[in-house]
Amino acid sequence: MSDFTSDFWSYYISFIVIGGIIGCLVLLLVTSKVKPMSDTDNTTGHVYDEDIVEMNNPLPRWWMWLFVLTCIFGVFYLIAFPGLGTNKGLLGWSGIGQYEHEVAETNKRLAPIYAKFTAMKVEDVAHDAKAMAIGERLFMNNCSQCHGSDAHGSKGFPNLTDHDWLHGGSPEKITETITLGRHGVMPPMQAAVGDQDDVKNVANYVLSLSNSKHDKARAELGKEKFVICAACHGADGKGNQAIGSPNLTDNIWLHGFGEAAIIDRINLGKENIMPAQGERLSPEQIHVLAAYVWSFSNVAKKSED
């Protein structure tokens, strides 16, 4: 990897850029000294469409000076802005700086709009139509890629419309999750459980916890081995929101349902990452977004009752 980050590439790019400008000026100088042939008919001998003759005239003066001015502009541009390898330019401009400036300006303009919602509780924001319209756009732009536009998720991405929360579904926990992100890891447990026959027994016991279809005899054999899993999922299999371990009794399966899927989880483990949004979204935006997410499993339920 160091081959791609060494100073060589900075010099390489700088050489090509400067060489290109000098080459253009040299080419212009050479061609400007070529004189039209006076002892002939002043054509190049090229004829197109039978009667269009290419003349051997010099470049117009206005075009030549425009070309020179373009090259001079390029030199001043490279002095002021990045363009010569790692040189940052005298003005110190950067794409990241421009982006951060635009984000700051946008947040400044939106501050009065968010100020009203920031002073409200998440539960109250979730009942404000204007706030929910803003929350919907924030969700579509930042969350729907994984959780889906309807927030029902998919395999490996949690459904946000039910009451099954790995880390808790309170407004505070949702805000914490959006801000800091989550990193869930289930280590491979096959070595601790035993051979594949033991793994299959534990998988059937896990299925029995939610009254799912299972082999009762194997489930009974797997109950004793489940003590290894109980360290995270609890002796009753109801999980632990403090560490984000799933509830195995509710028949909601994040990474696939059935004996084969559970065996894969025991053998291979699983790692899931939700990226933190705290650096991308302002606290005010996260407050509204948290209210929008909270509304999926609370406001809708109220309206149905």
Question: Residue 204: what residue type?
Answer: N
Give the mean model confidence (pLDDT) for residues 95-106: 89
Task: Write down the pTM of the prediction.
Answer: 0.72
For residue 64, pLDDT beyond 70: yes
Nearest of 163, 261, 272, 165 to residue 207 by alpha carbon: 261
Q: Which two tokens stand for residue 86?
A: 């790692």
CB atoms within 10 A of CB 90: 10
The H or E element containing residue 291 is helix 283-296
Q: pLDDT band at residue 149, thresholds of 50, 70 and 90? A: very high
Topology of domain 185-274 in CATH is Cytochrome Bc1 Complex; Chain D, domain 2 (1.10.760)
For residue 208, pLDDT beyond 80: yes
Nearest of 92, 90, 87 to residue 14 by alpha carbon: 87
For residue 300, pLDDT beyond 80: no
CATH class given for the domain over 101-181+275-304: mainly alpha
Are residues 229 and 187 in contact, defined by beta-carbon separation less than 8 angstroms? no
In the chain, what percentage of residues exceed pLDDT 70? 94
For residue 304, pLDDT beyond 50: no
Pinpoint the residues of the chain covered by CATH 1.10.760.10.
101-181+275-304, 185-274
Are residues 295 and 236 in contact, defined by beta-carbon separation less than 8 angstroms? no
Residue 29's pLDDT is 87
Q: Which two tokens stand for residue 292?
A: 């929008």
DSSP 130: H
Q: pLDDT band at residue 128, thresholds of 50, 70 and 90? A: very high
Q: Are strands 270-274 and 182-186 parallel, antiparallel or unpaired?
A: antiparallel
For residue 27, pLDDT beyond 80: yes
